[in-house]
Amino acid sequence: MRSLDRSGAIYYPGAVKSSAPASRVRLEHSVTTILLLPADGASAVREAMTNRGSSSAKHSIAHRGASAYAPEHTLEAYELAIEQGADFIEPDLQITRDGVLVCLHDLTLERTTNVAEVFRDRYREEDVRGRQLRRWYVSDFDLVELHRLDAGSWFDNRFAGARVPTLEETIEIARGRAGIYPETKAPEVYGHLGFAMERLLIEVLERYALARVDNHARTPVVIQSFSAESLQILRSELESELPLVYLVSEADESLSAKGLAKVATFATGLGPDKRLLLEDPDLAERAHEAGLSVVPWTFRSDDPGAFADVREEMAYFLYDMGVDALFTNNPDLFPR
Ligand code: G3P
Ligand code: CA
Protein backbone atom coordinates (compact mmCIF):
# COMPACT_ATOMS: atom_id res chain seq x y z
CA MET A 1 0.00 0.00 0.00
CA ARG A 2 1.31 3.42 -0.94
CA SER A 3 2.18 5.34 2.17
CA LEU A 4 2.14 8.89 3.41
CA ASP A 5 5.37 9.85 5.10
CA ARG A 6 4.44 11.34 8.44
CA SER A 7 7.15 12.65 10.73
CA GLY A 8 9.70 10.37 9.17
CA ALA A 9 7.70 7.22 9.76
CA ILE A 10 5.75 5.23 7.24
CA TYR A 11 2.05 5.85 7.75
CA TYR A 12 -0.39 3.15 6.86
CA PRO A 13 -4.06 4.09 6.63
CA GLY A 14 -5.91 2.30 9.37
CA ALA A 15 -3.00 2.55 11.76
CA VAL A 16 -3.18 4.79 14.79
CA LYS A 17 -3.57 8.38 13.68
CA SER A 18 -0.47 10.51 13.76
CA SER A 19 -0.46 13.87 15.46
CA ALA A 20 2.46 15.10 13.37
CA PRO A 21 2.28 18.82 12.67
CA ALA A 22 1.27 19.86 9.19
CA SER A 23 4.72 21.16 8.35
CA ARG A 24 6.14 17.68 8.74
CA VAL A 25 3.66 15.99 6.44
CA ARG A 26 4.96 15.30 2.96
CA LEU A 27 2.83 14.10 0.10
CA GLU A 28 4.54 11.79 -2.31
CA HIS A 29 2.35 12.05 -5.36
CA SER A 30 3.94 12.88 -8.67
CA VAL A 31 2.86 15.99 -10.50
CA THR A 32 2.74 13.93 -13.67
CA THR A 33 -0.47 12.36 -12.43
CA ILE A 34 -2.20 15.70 -12.04
CA LEU A 35 -3.91 16.73 -15.25
CA LEU A 36 -6.75 19.17 -15.66
CA LEU A 37 -10.19 18.21 -16.86
CA PRO A 38 -10.70 19.82 -20.28
CA ALA A 39 -13.10 22.75 -20.08
CA ASP A 40 -15.74 20.95 -22.11
CA GLY A 41 -15.83 18.07 -19.63
CA ALA A 42 -15.36 15.59 -22.45
CA SER A 43 -12.85 13.49 -20.56
CA ALA A 44 -15.38 13.11 -17.78
CA VAL A 45 -17.69 11.52 -20.30
CA ARG A 46 -15.09 9.20 -21.68
CA GLU A 47 -14.01 8.06 -18.28
CA ALA A 48 -17.50 7.81 -16.93
CA MET A 49 -18.19 5.44 -19.81
CA THR A 50 -15.58 3.02 -18.56
CA ASN A 51 -15.73 1.17 -15.29
CA ARG A 52 -12.54 2.71 -14.07
CA GLY A 53 -11.39 6.22 -14.80
CA SER A 54 -7.88 6.43 -16.17
CA SER A 55 -5.25 8.12 -14.06
CA SER A 56 -5.28 11.11 -16.38
CA ALA A 57 -8.05 13.03 -14.63
CA LYS A 58 -9.48 13.19 -11.16
CA HIS A 59 -12.94 14.59 -10.63
CA SER A 60 -14.42 16.73 -7.90
CA ILE A 61 -18.05 16.23 -6.97
CA ALA A 62 -19.51 19.13 -5.02
CA HIS A 63 -21.27 17.37 -2.14
CA ARG A 64 -24.72 18.97 -1.79
CA GLY A 65 -23.19 21.86 -3.76
CA ALA A 66 -20.42 23.97 -2.28
CA SER A 67 -22.00 23.15 1.06
CA ALA A 68 -19.15 24.46 3.20
CA TYR A 69 -20.03 27.98 2.06
CA ALA A 70 -23.71 27.98 1.13
CA PRO A 71 -26.83 26.12 2.32
CA GLU A 72 -26.76 22.54 1.07
CA HIS A 73 -28.94 21.63 -1.88
CA THR A 74 -29.87 25.14 -2.91
CA LEU A 75 -29.30 26.68 -6.32
CA GLU A 76 -26.96 29.10 -4.57
CA ALA A 77 -24.78 26.19 -3.36
CA TYR A 78 -24.79 24.54 -6.79
CA GLU A 79 -23.98 27.80 -8.59
CA LEU A 80 -21.09 28.53 -6.24
CA ALA A 81 -19.72 25.00 -6.72
CA ILE A 82 -19.68 25.46 -10.49
CA GLU A 83 -18.00 28.85 -10.12
CA GLN A 84 -15.39 27.15 -7.92
CA GLY A 85 -14.63 24.71 -10.70
CA ALA A 86 -16.45 21.57 -9.54
CA ASP A 87 -16.57 18.89 -12.22
CA PHE A 88 -19.92 17.65 -10.92
CA ILE A 89 -22.62 18.90 -8.56
CA GLU A 90 -24.43 16.42 -6.35
CA PRO A 91 -28.20 16.53 -5.88
CA ASP A 92 -29.73 14.05 -3.42
CA LEU A 93 -33.26 13.26 -4.56
CA GLN A 94 -36.60 13.22 -2.73
CA ILE A 95 -40.15 13.20 -4.13
CA THR A 96 -43.00 15.61 -3.37
CA ARG A 97 -46.60 14.52 -2.81
CA ASP A 98 -47.37 15.45 -6.41
CA GLY A 99 -44.52 13.34 -7.76
CA VAL A 100 -41.82 15.93 -8.46
CA LEU A 101 -38.13 15.14 -7.90
CA VAL A 102 -36.57 17.74 -5.61
CA CYS A 103 -33.08 18.10 -4.23
CA LEU A 104 -32.76 17.52 -0.50
CA HIS A 105 -30.70 15.20 1.66
CA ASP A 106 -33.26 14.33 4.34
CA LEU A 107 -36.63 12.66 3.97
CA THR A 108 -37.95 15.52 6.09
CA LEU A 109 -37.80 19.29 5.87
CA GLU A 110 -37.29 20.58 9.39
CA ARG A 111 -33.47 20.53 9.53
CA THR A 112 -32.88 22.73 6.49
CA THR A 113 -36.04 24.80 6.07
CA ASN A 114 -38.52 26.86 8.12
CA VAL A 115 -41.31 24.33 7.52
CA ALA A 116 -42.17 24.22 11.24
CA GLU A 117 -43.11 27.92 11.07
CA VAL A 118 -44.87 27.92 7.71
CA PHE A 119 -46.79 24.66 8.11
CA ARG A 120 -46.99 24.48 11.88
CA ASP A 121 -49.50 21.61 12.07
CA ARG A 122 -48.43 19.48 9.13
CA TYR A 123 -46.06 17.21 11.02
CA ARG A 124 -46.12 13.55 11.89
CA GLU A 125 -45.18 12.67 15.43
CA GLU A 126 -42.74 9.80 15.78
CA ASP A 127 -41.33 7.93 18.70
CA VAL A 128 -37.55 7.90 18.35
CA ARG A 129 -35.88 5.98 21.16
CA GLY A 130 -38.54 7.07 23.62
CA ARG A 131 -38.62 10.71 22.45
CA GLN A 132 -41.60 12.18 20.62
CA LEU A 133 -40.30 14.02 17.54
CA ARG A 134 -42.17 16.11 14.99
CA ARG A 135 -41.33 15.35 11.38
CA TRP A 136 -42.39 17.21 8.25
CA TYR A 137 -41.99 14.73 5.38
CA VAL A 138 -41.25 15.97 1.86
CA SER A 139 -43.78 13.45 0.55
CA ASP A 140 -46.56 15.18 2.53
CA PHE A 141 -46.13 18.44 0.59
CA ASP A 142 -46.83 19.54 -2.97
CA LEU A 143 -44.17 21.37 -4.91
CA VAL A 144 -46.08 24.64 -4.69
CA GLU A 145 -46.03 24.29 -0.89
CA LEU A 146 -42.33 23.49 -0.85
CA HIS A 147 -41.69 26.65 -2.80
CA ARG A 148 -43.01 28.68 0.13
CA LEU A 149 -40.17 27.46 2.33
CA ASP A 150 -36.95 29.27 3.13
CA ALA A 151 -34.09 26.79 2.73
CA GLY A 152 -31.31 29.30 3.32
CA SER A 153 -31.75 31.14 6.63
CA TRP A 154 -30.87 28.15 8.80
CA PHE A 155 -27.37 28.35 7.31
CA ASP A 156 -26.93 32.13 7.24
CA ASN A 157 -29.28 35.10 6.91
CA ARG A 158 -27.41 36.07 3.76
CA PHE A 159 -29.19 33.17 2.08
CA ALA A 160 -32.70 34.00 3.27
CA GLY A 161 -35.24 33.08 0.62
CA ALA A 162 -33.24 30.28 -1.00
CA ARG A 163 -35.62 27.51 -2.05
CA VAL A 164 -35.69 23.73 -2.21
CA PRO A 165 -34.88 23.25 -5.91
CA THR A 166 -36.38 20.75 -8.28
CA LEU A 167 -34.03 18.44 -10.15
CA GLU A 168 -34.99 20.29 -13.32
CA GLU A 169 -33.91 23.63 -11.86
CA THR A 170 -30.63 22.03 -10.84
CA ILE A 171 -30.06 20.68 -14.34
CA GLU A 172 -30.76 24.16 -15.75
CA ILE A 173 -27.98 25.54 -13.54
CA ALA A 174 -25.46 22.85 -14.48
CA ARG A 175 -26.28 22.29 -18.14
CA GLY A 176 -23.24 22.96 -20.30
CA ARG A 177 -21.14 23.97 -17.28
CA ALA A 178 -20.68 20.90 -15.05
CA GLY A 179 -21.73 17.31 -14.65
CA ILE A 180 -24.51 16.03 -12.38
CA TYR A 181 -24.23 13.20 -9.84
CA PRO A 182 -27.80 12.53 -8.66
CA GLU A 183 -28.39 10.12 -5.76
CA THR A 184 -31.58 8.09 -5.51
CA LYS A 185 -32.30 8.57 -1.79
CA ALA A 186 -34.45 6.04 0.03
CA PRO A 187 -36.11 4.79 -3.17
CA GLU A 188 -37.77 1.96 -1.22
CA VAL A 189 -39.58 4.48 1.00
CA TYR A 190 -40.97 6.25 -2.05
CA GLY A 191 -41.75 2.90 -3.65
CA HIS A 192 -44.12 2.19 -0.76
CA LEU A 193 -45.85 5.48 -1.57
CA GLY A 194 -46.33 4.44 -5.18
CA PHE A 195 -43.43 6.36 -6.74
CA ALA A 196 -40.75 4.80 -8.92
CA MET A 197 -37.85 7.14 -8.24
CA GLU A 198 -35.59 5.62 -10.89
CA ARG A 199 -38.18 6.02 -13.62
CA LEU A 200 -38.90 9.62 -12.60
CA LEU A 201 -35.19 10.35 -12.74
CA ILE A 202 -34.73 8.87 -16.20
CA GLU A 203 -37.80 10.77 -17.44
CA VAL A 204 -36.33 14.07 -16.28
CA LEU A 205 -32.94 13.25 -17.81
CA GLU A 206 -34.62 12.31 -21.10
CA ARG A 207 -36.37 15.69 -21.14
CA TYR A 208 -32.93 17.31 -21.15
CA ALA A 209 -31.37 14.74 -23.52
CA LEU A 210 -29.09 13.60 -20.70
CA ALA A 211 -30.24 10.00 -20.36
CA ARG A 212 -27.75 8.78 -22.95
CA VAL A 213 -24.01 9.07 -22.63
CA ASP A 214 -23.47 10.15 -26.22
CA ASN A 215 -25.19 13.42 -25.33
CA HIS A 216 -22.92 14.07 -22.40
CA ALA A 217 -20.19 16.14 -23.98
CA ARG A 218 -20.70 19.06 -21.60
CA THR A 219 -22.93 17.66 -18.87
CA PRO A 220 -21.98 14.11 -17.90
CA VAL A 221 -24.39 12.32 -15.57
CA VAL A 222 -23.47 9.62 -13.06
CA ILE A 223 -26.16 8.09 -10.84
CA GLN A 224 -25.34 6.92 -7.31
CA SER A 225 -27.25 5.05 -4.63
CA PHE A 226 -26.89 3.14 -1.38
CA SER A 227 -29.54 0.84 -2.80
CA ALA A 228 -28.19 -1.96 -5.00
CA GLU A 229 -31.75 -2.65 -6.05
CA SER A 230 -32.17 0.91 -7.27
CA LEU A 231 -29.07 0.61 -9.45
CA GLN A 232 -30.20 -2.79 -10.71
CA ILE A 233 -33.54 -1.29 -11.74
CA LEU A 234 -31.72 1.44 -13.63
CA ARG A 235 -29.40 -1.00 -15.37
CA SER A 236 -31.69 -3.95 -16.05
CA GLU A 237 -35.30 -2.78 -16.03
CA LEU A 238 -34.81 0.70 -17.45
CA GLU A 239 -31.78 -0.33 -19.52
CA SER A 240 -29.89 2.80 -18.58
CA GLU A 241 -26.38 2.99 -19.97
CA LEU A 242 -25.35 5.73 -17.54
CA PRO A 243 -22.43 5.12 -15.16
CA LEU A 244 -23.72 3.92 -11.77
CA VAL A 245 -21.94 4.20 -8.42
CA TYR A 246 -22.79 1.91 -5.51
CA LEU A 247 -22.46 3.71 -2.17
CA VAL A 248 -21.29 1.80 0.90
CA SER A 249 -21.18 3.06 4.48
CA GLU A 250 -20.16 -0.09 6.39
CA ALA A 251 -17.68 -2.88 5.72
CA ASP A 252 -19.54 -5.97 4.60
CA GLU A 253 -19.35 -8.86 2.15
CA SER A 254 -19.78 -6.51 -0.81
CA LEU A 255 -16.20 -5.28 -0.23
CA SER A 256 -14.57 -8.70 -0.60
CA ALA A 257 -13.06 -9.58 -3.98
CA LYS A 258 -16.08 -11.76 -4.67
CA GLY A 259 -18.50 -9.10 -3.47
CA LEU A 260 -16.87 -6.43 -5.62
CA ALA A 261 -17.10 -8.67 -8.67
CA LYS A 262 -20.83 -8.86 -7.99
CA VAL A 263 -21.09 -5.08 -7.59
CA ALA A 264 -19.42 -4.76 -11.00
CA THR A 265 -22.36 -6.59 -12.57
CA PHE A 266 -24.70 -3.67 -11.88
CA ALA A 267 -22.43 -0.68 -11.17
CA THR A 268 -19.41 0.98 -12.71
CA GLY A 269 -18.09 2.48 -9.49
CA LEU A 270 -17.84 2.02 -5.75
CA GLY A 271 -18.58 4.98 -3.44
CA PRO A 272 -17.25 4.05 0.02
CA ASP A 273 -17.21 6.15 3.15
CA LYS A 274 -13.58 7.36 3.17
CA ARG A 275 -13.15 5.68 6.55
CA LEU A 276 -13.50 2.27 4.89
CA LEU A 277 -10.52 3.02 2.64
CA LEU A 278 -8.39 4.00 5.61
CA GLU A 279 -9.40 0.91 7.56
CA ASP A 280 -8.83 -1.43 4.62
CA PRO A 281 -5.68 -0.35 2.76
CA ASP A 282 -6.26 -2.78 -0.12
CA LEU A 283 -9.83 -1.83 -0.82
CA ALA A 284 -9.16 0.73 -3.57
CA GLU A 285 -6.90 -1.73 -5.37
CA ARG A 286 -9.41 -4.58 -5.03
CA ALA A 287 -12.18 -2.37 -6.42
CA HIS A 288 -10.01 -1.32 -9.34
CA GLU A 289 -9.16 -4.94 -10.03
CA ALA A 290 -12.87 -5.66 -10.17
CA GLY A 291 -13.13 -2.94 -12.82
CA LEU A 292 -14.80 -0.39 -10.55
CA SER A 293 -13.91 3.26 -10.19
CA VAL A 294 -13.49 4.41 -6.58
CA VAL A 295 -15.31 7.54 -5.39
CA PRO A 296 -15.16 8.11 -1.62
CA TRP A 297 -17.07 10.65 0.52
CA THR A 298 -17.10 13.13 2.19
CA PHE A 299 -14.14 15.53 2.33
CA ARG A 300 -14.83 18.65 4.36
CA SER A 301 -12.72 21.47 5.69
CA ASP A 302 -14.29 21.25 9.16
CA ASP A 303 -13.15 17.64 9.62
CA PRO A 304 -9.95 16.64 7.79
CA GLY A 305 -9.29 13.74 10.16
CA ALA A 306 -5.60 13.19 10.86
CA PHE A 307 -4.54 15.45 8.00
CA ALA A 308 -3.41 19.05 8.34
CA ASP A 309 -6.28 20.27 6.17
CA VAL A 310 -8.83 19.00 3.72
CA ARG A 311 -6.72 19.82 0.67
CA GLU A 312 -3.96 17.59 1.95
CA GLU A 313 -6.46 14.90 2.82
CA MET A 314 -7.96 14.97 -0.68
CA ALA A 315 -4.48 14.90 -2.27
CA TYR A 316 -3.60 11.80 -0.27
CA PHE A 317 -6.71 9.91 -1.34
CA LEU A 318 -6.43 11.01 -4.98
CA TYR A 319 -2.73 10.68 -5.67
CA ASP A 320 -1.38 8.29 -3.05
CA MET A 321 -4.30 5.96 -2.62
CA GLY A 322 -5.38 6.37 -6.24
CA VAL A 323 -9.11 7.05 -5.99
CA ASP A 324 -10.70 8.35 -9.17
CA ALA A 325 -12.96 11.11 -7.84
CA LEU A 326 -14.35 12.25 -4.51
CA PHE A 327 -17.23 14.10 -2.90
CA THR A 328 -16.27 17.31 -1.15
CA ASN A 329 -17.99 20.23 0.56
CA ASN A 330 -15.02 22.35 -0.59
CA PRO A 331 -14.68 22.11 -4.36
CA ASP A 332 -12.48 25.23 -4.33
CA LEU A 333 -9.81 23.29 -2.42
CA PHE A 334 -9.77 20.25 -4.72
CA PRO A 335 -6.10 19.57 -5.56
CA ARG A 336 -5.51 19.22 -9.31
O1 G3P B 1 -23.60 10.38 -1.95
C2 G3P B 1 -22.33 10.35 -1.39
C3 G3P B 1 -22.47 10.92 -0.05
O4 G3P B 1 -23.15 12.12 -0.25
C5 G3P B 1 -23.28 10.02 0.83
O6 G3P B 1 -23.62 10.66 1.95
O7 G3P B 1 -25.51 11.13 3.38
O8 G3P B 1 -24.31 12.99 2.28
O9 G3P B 1 -25.80 11.52 0.97
P10 G3P B 1 -24.87 11.62 2.13
CA1 CA C 1 -25.42 12.07 -1.32
Does ligand 1 come within 6 angstroms of the Cβ of 224?
Answer: yes
Instruction: Report CA(226)–ligand 1 centroid distance (Å).
Output: 9
Residue 54 pLDDT grade (very low, low, confident, very high; cuts 50, 70, 90)? very low
More confident residue, 14 or 49: 49
Instruction: Give the active site residues.
Output: 63, 105
Residue 214: predicted pLDDT: 80
Give the environment of ion ligand 2: residues with CB less than 5 A. 92, 183
Does ligand 1 come within 6 angstroms of the Cβ of 63?
Answer: yes
Residue 27: predicted pLDDT: 31
Residues counted in the chain: 336
pTM, two decimal places? 0.85
Query: Where are the domains positioned within the chain?
Result: 4-107+164-333
Of 28-42, 54-68, 256-270, 292-306, the least confident: 28-42
Instruction: Report CA(225)–ligand 2 centroid distance (Å).
Output: 8
Q: What is the pLDDT of residues 158-176, one digit of tens each?
A: 999 999 999 999 999 999 9
Of 26-40, 120-134, 222-236, 240-254, the least confident: 26-40
Which residue minimizes the CA distance to atom 5 of ligand 1? 297
Q: Residue 267 and residue 277: Cα distance in Å, rounded?
A: 19
Residue 215: predicted pLDDT: 66
The percent of residues above 90 in pLDDT, for the chain, comes to 82
Is 309 exposed, middle or buried (CB count within 10 Å of its CB: 0-12, 13-18, 19+)? middle
Q: Which residues of 102-111 are buried (b: 16+ CB within 10 A; e: fewer)?
A: bbbbbbbbbe
Does the pLDDT value for residue 10 go beyond 60?
A: no
Strand order in the sheet with 325-328: 179-180, 88-90, 59-63, 325-328
What average pLDDT score do residues 233-249 get?
Answer: 98
The percent of residues above 70 in pLDDT, for the chain, comes to 83
What average pLDDT score do residues 38-51 get?
Answer: 39
Residue 281 pLDDT grade (very low, low, confident, very high; cuts 50, 70, 90)? very high
Ligand nearest to the CA of 67: 1
Does ligand 1 come within 6 angstroms of the Cβ of 186?
Answer: no
Does ligand 1 come within 6 angstroms of the Cβ of 299?
Answer: no
Q: What is the pLDDT of residues 84-106, one digit of tens each?
A: 999 999 999 999 999 999 999 99
Does ligand 1 come within 6 angstroms of the Cβ of 271?
Answer: yes
Q: Ligand 1: which of 72, 89, 248, 297 to mutate, judged by most atoms within 8 Å of the beta carbon?
A: 297
Residue 56: predicted pLDDT: 53
**pLDDT mean across residues, the chain:** 86
Residue 16: predicted pLDDT: 25
Does ligand 1 come within 6 angstroms of the Cβ of 226?
Answer: no
Phi (first) and psi of residue 261, to 5 degrees: -60, -35
Instruction: Report CA(30)–ligand 2 centroid distance (Å).
Output: 30
Residue 8: predicted pLDDT: 24
| One CATH from 3.20.20.190, 3.40.630.30, 3.30.420.10, 3.40.50.300 for 4-107+164-333 | 3.20.20.190
Which residue minimizes the CA distance to atom 10 of ligand 1? 105
Q: What is the pLDDT of residues 135-148, one digit of tens each?
A: 999 999 999 999 99
Residue 95: predicted pLDDT: 98
Residue 217: predicted pLDDT: 72
Of 213-222, 228-237, 242-251, the least confident: 213-222
Q: Ligand 1: which of 88, 90, 92 to mutate, judged by most atoms within 8 Å of the beta carbon?
A: 92
Residue 96: predicted pLDDT: 98
Instruction: Find how far residue 293's CA is from the centre of its chain.
Output: 14
